[in-house]
Structure 1
């Protein structure tokens, strides 16, 4: 014997009046930081140490479905390396992952190189 459940109350409420889903800035920051680390590991698989990324998010709810994000990412890179190419890779990968996982429009991804790490230099030496 099959039972039929009554129609849900949700079906009676028009889509525009049901509410909205908002992705928290800290969630977007975690997605972006992880994507930046993925991109840096992919670019330099044998590089010593773990890729580091610090992310700040400016979030606006102007574009459907989940808003628009402007991201600022600070990274540490191994040196010598093609810095511009690595920053471009991070920028593209982060934008793609935030779009895919958070459903947000990514208006800007600014990548700042916070530190260059060189395995050739000791702690006392400095690059000028």
Structure 2
């Protein structure tokens, strides 16, 4: 029979929630959040444009590296749209999953010209 040392562990309901375990957010979940954030950052896309999609790799120390693929209407300020996507993806991922984003690479897959009579 083991001797009681008096150093019993406290019941789990007395341990603060943040100290009870760990939460792991799957890469695909972060990718869905990043893709939605990219859609939010862009003006309405032409009807034939594919919606943005993202891939994510979660690095050690729970930091995300994001790649967003998107299509844009043309003419537009491509650099400004890409900067807005990078900024918004970084903010939303950090806010929703408390995960810092080390990098957001934006890849413009296609430009869709505006129909005649529209600029």
For Structure 1 versus Structure 2, the TM-score category normalised by the shorter chain is 0.7 to 0.9
Larger Rg: 2
Q: CA–CA distance in 1 between the matches of 2:55 and 2:108?
A: 14
Q: CA–CA distance in 1 between the matches of 2:50 and 2:17?
A: 46
Corresponding residue number in structure 2 for 1:97: 92
RMSD (Å) for aligned C-alpha atoms: 2.4
* TM norm structure 1: 0.73
Corresponding residue number in structure 1 for 2:115: 120
The reply to whether residue 21 of structure 1 matches residue 19 of structure 2 is no
Q: Which runs of 4+ in 1 moved over 2 A?
A: 7-10, 12-16, 47-51
Please give the secondary structure, in 2, of the residue aligned with 1:32: helix
Alignment: residue pair count:
106
Corresponding residue number in structure 2 for 1:125: none
Question: Could you give the per-residue CA deviations for residues 51-89 of structure 1, whole angstroms, max 9, x where no partner exists?
Answer: 621211110241xxxx10000001100000000000000
Summarize the Cα distance change of 1:82–1:14 in structure 2 as closer, same or farther, 3 Å threshold.
closer
The reply to whether residue 54 of structure 1 matches residue 53 of structure 2 is yes
Corresponding residue number in structure 1 for 2:101: 106
Unpaired stretches in structure 1, ≥5 consecutive residues:
1-6, 122-128
* TM norm structure 2: 0.78
CA displacement at 1:119 relative to structure 2 = 2.5
Summarize the Cα distance change of 1:84–1:13 in structure 2 as closer, same or farther, 3 Å threshold.
closer
Unpaired stretches in structure 2, ≥5 consecutive residues:
1-9
Instruction: Output aligned runs, 1:1-16, within 5 Å.
Output: 9-12=12-15, 16=19
